[in-house]
Amino acid sequence: MSPSFSCYGETLIQTPAVDRLAAEGTKFTRAYAPAPVCSTCRSALITGMYQTTIGAHHHRSGRGEMKINLPPDVTPAPVQFQKAGYFTCIGSGLPGLDNRGMPFGNEKKKGAGSSRLGKTDYNFEWDAKMYDSHDWAERGEKPFFMQVQLHGGKLREGSPEARAAFKQRVIAELGSATDPQKVTLPPYYPRDPLILEDWALYLDSARMTDLHVGRVIARLEKEGLLADTFIIFMTDHGISHARGKQFLYDEGSHIPFIVRGPGVAKGAVRDDLVMQIDMAAMSLAASGIPIPTTMQGRDILAKDYHPREAIFAARDRCDETVEHLRSARTDRFLYIRNFLPQRPHLQPNAYKDGKAIVQTLRSLHAEGRLPSVSEDLLFSPKRQAEELYDYQADPFQLTNLAANPDFKTALETQRAQLDRWIKESGDKGPESEAMYDSDMVEYTKKNPEVEKNIALMKQWGREGK
């Protein structure tokens, strides 16, 4: 999800629970994910490290015979909490309900709620024992560290029947569904009925997420825990769409980030640049646990904290689709480097091409019915090697300023910052062909379409694209 909540300015829906967190805590307006896809950003957030530094930057990597191990000086946050005497858990935050807010089935329990654990999806080898349970109810007298993992924007996804069922659930639980005709789309998406309906369902998924958040807060209140609990509300990346998830524009990387708890300023709004990986450092600091000196995330609530001048993000292979993007963001500018500019923005990808919204866009493109801005930004056969946007004045990143002589100094500055970060952070870059082949063995078991895409990736590689 993107920051599609009323406290962030979304006017078509109301999200009272998330708004409450913002009113009772501190809201960060410019928080960004280091990677715009789940496994890579989750690998980053749980370690407080850039995924490119720890070699976990290729989506769903290390799943074949070849494995990825964390550097010896990097320890996942839950392990550090356990060592400090905390009970660690990951689940829905509501006993009896899953991450969709739906009742669990009659699946057979295996150990300490293992069938009810929340999403992990880390790209490195890790010990499942770093989570004691799916819920804090079993903690005894211990303090707890909990990850409440919700389905978020994925609530709207699936077959037409699944989307229709979700809409009926929204009506049943919230009284009404969002009107597609009232939706405001980014200017590069056509007002096609299916795309409008999808965006309306996405906003309804934000409402359902808010409902779940409210129920977790109510549980904490009922159990007398809310006053002493440090809470961070965030998403792992932006909306899943053609220029959102998997890409480094605001639509894919800008996230909500709200902090509430003991010692946190109430009703405060911060506009400085912060990162999702700061969650690990903040959580440790709030619990009095020393932050490892090697951790790249920072305690952004510390009294001696100095705001960053720039933050960085990366997108690499997603599923079978090979990609190599890096970005540097400062107070005004977003700089993106396309290391593979000879490839189109929407490369073939079985996961994204299986979505009705992408299928609709591809059909409209084939029929010549897309507006020029959609054609230029979504379906150009090649990309510029560098992109520079004044994202404050151009919130949808429509105008690439990289070739504009008036912005030469800004371009050179951002370019140098990215070069320095790549070197200093130890960016691992492209994966080896052996690692790619190892992981693709797992992918080809799931979707025959992937095999065709793998062959194309290898062909393009041989052609230098």
pLDDT confidence of residue 105: 74
CA distance to 1, 136, 163, 328, 338, per residue, from 82 (Å): 30, 13, 40, 35, 41
Q: What distance in Å separates the CA atoms of residue 22 and residue 17, rounded to the nearest whole number? A: 9
| Nearest of 46, 237, 230, 219 to residue 131 by alpha carbon | 46
Residue 107 predicted with pLDDT over 90: no
Distance of alpha carbon 271 from alpha carbon 313, whole angstroms: 18
- pLDDT at site 447: 81
pLDDT digit string (tens) for 269-308?
A: 999 999 999 999 999 999 999 999 999 999 999 999 999 9
Helix, coil or strand: residue 177: coil
Tokens encoding 352: 């994204």
Over pLDDT 90: what percentage of the chain? 95
Reported pTM: 0.96
Spell out the residues 6+ positions from residue 339 whose beta carbon is closer than 8 angstroms to its own: 324, 325, 326
Non-local CB neighbours of 28 within 8 Å, separated by 6+ positions:
257, 258, 259, 270, 271, 272, 274, 300
For the chain, the structural domain boundaries read 6-462
Specify the residue for token string 């978020």.
152
Q: What is the DSSP string of 251-297?
A: HHHEEEEEEESTTPPTTEEE-S-EETTHHHHHHHHHTTPPPPTT--S
pLDDT-based confidence at residue 443 (cuts at 50, 70, 90) = confident
Name the burial class of residue 460, with classes exposed (0-12), middle (13-18) and buried (19+) by CB atoms within 10 angstroms of its CB: middle
What are 128-145's pLDDT values in tens digits? 999 999 999 999 999 999
Residue 114 has pLDDT above 90, yes or no: no
Question: Phi and psi at residue 318, in whole multiples of 5°?
Answer: -115, 115
Taking the C-alpha atoms of residue 2 and residue 153, their distance in angstroms, rounded to an integer, is 9
Top CATH class of 6-462 equals: alpha beta
The per-residue pLDDT for range 172-188, each reduced to its tens digit, is 999 999 999 999 999 99
If pLDDT is split at 50, 70 and 90, which confidence band does 106 have?
Answer: low
Q: Is the pLDDT of residue 113 over 70?
A: no
**pLDDT, tens only, 64-85:** 999 999 999 999 999 999 999 9
Model confidence pLDDT, tens digit, residues 10-19: 999 999 999 9
In degrees rounded to 5, what are phi and psi of residue 113? 65, 30
| pLDDT tens readout for residues 235-275 | 999 999 999 999 999 999 999 999 999 999 999 999 999 99
Q: For all residues of the chain together, what is the average pLDDT?
A: 96
Question: In this predicted structure, what is the pLDDT of residue 20?
Answer: 98
Q: What is the C-alpha separation between 395 and 238, in angstroms, rounded?
A: 14
Is 64 strand, coil or helix? Answer: coil
170's tokens: 């929204």
314: three-class secondary structure by DSSP: strand
Per-residue tokens: 444: 């080809």
Neighbours of 429 (CB within 10 A): 14
Question: What's the rounded Cα separation, in Å, for the pair 27 and 117?
Answer: 28
Q: Residue 108: what pLDDT?
A: 46
Two tokens, residue 86: 């905390």
Q: Are the beta carbons of 418 and 385 closer than 8 angstroms?
A: no
Looking at the predicted structure, is the pLDDT value of residue 110 above 60?
Answer: no
| Cα–Cα distance measured from residue 11 to residue 425, given in angstroms and rounded to the nearest whole number | 39
Count the Cβ atoms, other than its own, within 10 Å of residue 65: 12
Compute the average pLDDT of residues 349-360.
95
> Which residues sit opposite 389 in a β-bridge?
334
On whether the CB atoms of residues 378 and 346 are closer than 8 A, the answer is: yes
